[in-house]
Each structure stands twice: as structure tokens, then as C-alpha cells.
Amino acid sequence: MNLDRSIAVSASGMAAQSARLRVVAENLANRDTTGDAPGAEPYRRKTVTFRSQLDRASGTTTVQAARIGTQPGNFPEMYEPGHPAADERGYVRRPNVDSLVEVMDMREAQRSYSANLSVLETTRAMLMRTIEVLRG
């Protein structure tokens, strides 16, 4: 494999995982964000969709964070009659963010980022060795 291609693939993987980490951080930061008024929708968990993209010039397939969407589904309810967003029954709609799922997503993104970084560092080292051989 061409070393330039290796760098492009690793860099695209790192960029995609960075986007994923930003979304996870946003989800965790908003895990307690409810609506402002009764019946208002709370924060909805965001998700990242990846896609592969072919760079025709180099013949390399890279990855991109294609779309940031929201997770469908119902919101859990919690009985908090004094809350400003409580409905007539005293229930508040809570965000559909599960901290455990977010932490697992974060760890997986960190591992993928680290793997891509290792490939990038190895490729860089190979390029440096090649330059040293050519010099001397």
C-alpha cells in the first residue's frame, strides 16, 4: 500500500472518531436537560452515522462521519411534581441518554482513534527511515 494512502485512511478515521467523541460529549453534557415547560421535549440523544467514501484520484476508500442524527423513541418519565416541566400528573420527560451506552461509545471511539494514530505514527516512522536511507 502506498504510504500516502495509509496516511489518508488513518487521518479520515481519526477525524470520524473525533466527530463521534464530540457527539458523545454533547450527549453526556445534556443527559439531564429537560424541557422548559410541561409537555416540552427534552434533549434527544444524538447519533453519528459513518460512510465510506472512495477517493477516485488515489483509489483509496476512507471513512467519514456522514450524518449526525437523533435517536428515535420515547423518553423515560420521572415523577417530579415540583419541576417546571412536570405535566399535570407530576411527571417530567427525561432525555433518552443512557450514560453507560455513552461511556461504551466513548471507549470504542477512543480505541479506534488510538489505532488510527498508531498506524499514522508507524507510517511516519517508515517515511523517516526511507529518507534516512536515501540520504546516506
- Residue 1's pLDDT is what? 52
Rounded Cα distance, 41 and 102, in Å: 20
Nearest one of 49, 99, 47, 48 to 76, comparing CA atoms: 99
pTM: 0.86
Reduced to 3 states, what is the DSSP secondary structure of residue 128?
A: helix
Reduced to 3 states, what is the DSSP secondary structure of residue 18?
A: helix
Binned at pLDDT 50, 70 and 90, residue 2 comes out as: confident
> Is-contact 60 5, C-beta < 8 A?
yes
> Is-contact 65 16, C-beta < 8 A?
yes
- Name residue 86's amino acid: A
Of all residues in the chain, what percent carry a pLDDT higher than 70?
99
Rounded Cα distance, 98 and 43, in Å: 12
pLDDT digits (tens, 9 = 90+) for 83-132: 999 999 999 999 999 999 999 999 999 999 999 999 999 999 999 998 99
Rounded Cα distance, 119 and 107, in Å: 18
Of all residues in the chain, what percent carry a pLDDT higher than 90?
81
Return the axis-axis angle of helices 99-135 and 3-29, rounded to nearest 10°.
160
